[in-house]
Amino acid sequence: MFPLQRGRRLRVNESIRSLVRETTLSPTDFMFPMFIAEGENIEVVIPSMPGIFRRSIDLTVKEVKEIYALGIRAVNIYVKVSEDLKDNEGVEAWSPNGLMQQAIRAIKASCPEMIVMPDVALDPYSIYGHDGIIANGDVENDSTVAALVKMAVSHAQAGADFVAPSDMMDGRVLRLREGLDAAGFHHVGIMSYSAKYASAFYGPFRDALDSAPKESNVAVPKDKKTYQMDYANRIEAIKEALSDVEEGADMVMVKPGIAYLDIVREVKNAVNVPVTVFHVSGEYAMIKAAAERGWLDHDKIMMEQLMCIKRAGASLISTYFAKEAAILLNK
């Protein structure tokens, strides 16, 4: 009689394991974050993110076509803004001919079926490297939200399918929804960075965009902890996600990924909209560095982490591994 149930019967070989596998991955599970630079035929290596580049719009469009052919259906785009275009208000963020707006138009013209989700935050445009407007020594919430609305509407005018506010200002989802609707963009969705933690895993990303907080001769916060979440907190993430859904978010995001899978599951259980997870730059860089030293099997660890994010409850994974993983899956 010992034992009647033997779990190993379902693990005998790969054919059986594949029959009972609870979670699967496909290229359509991925969104590819892309960094965009001024100029033409520009490709700048990001040293802390091997295999990831800042590319000019022409080369970005070429890459978009390649990843679409692999089955990837969404891109999350960020721009490297010239220093002379930065200020405290982020005015360049809603310029009709800004780099972001040009990039959205070019991607949608060349690959109309690719879902484009531009980042909505002021840090790439800020002389202080913060996600909003500095006033009285801190990021001022309501004036920042007003600027973000103008930014999001300009993205919609350029052809964005979703806007992706990553700023963590209070009430911004409601104001974005109202602003988009008032401008006639009822069809443009909002993917809100709802549970974005003040994490040390973002370092390589900030290298890519030069978007880290900067020292200044005026009083500014030295980090982003007054608006991004404390990584000690769990219940707060659920509250933020539920609030964003009530305000009109079509998707919510948890960021970072692997170190926050408990939060992914909690949020997934709490909301009735798709949950996106950002497998962030530091998580990417750690795998690359360990693999280069021969300490880990790159492809096995990459796929294991992506599968674990999906298993935890992700409907969509924003990951710098998107292209590599899609190639592997297509094999």
Q: How far apart are CA 166 and CA 93, in angstroms?
A: 14
Q: Which of 255, 268, 288, 323 is catalytic?
A: 255
Q: How far apart are CA 274 and CA 253, in angstroms?
A: 9
DSSP 51-69: T-EEEEHHHHHHHHHHHHH
Residue 255: active-site member: yes
Q: Is the distance from CB of 159 to CB of 191 less than 8 angstroms?
A: no
CB atoms near residue 128 (< 10 Å): 21
Q: Is the distance from CB of 187 to CB of 156 less than 8 angstroms?
A: no
Q: How far apart are CA 236 and CA 231, in angstroms?
A: 10
Closest CA to 267 of 278, 253, 257: 253
Q: How far apart are CA 125 and CA 132, in angstroms?
A: 9
Q: Can you read off the two tokens belonging to residue 286?
A: 């750690």
Q: Can you read off the two tokens belonging to residue 166?
A: 């990553």
Residue 62: active-site member: no
Element (H, E) at 271: none
Q: Which of 108, 196, 224, 323 is catalytic?
A: 196
Closest CA to 208 of 51, 318, 54, 63: 54
Q: Is the distance from CB of 180 to CB of 164 less than 8 angstroms?
A: no
User: So which residues are the catalytic ones?
Assistant: 196, 255
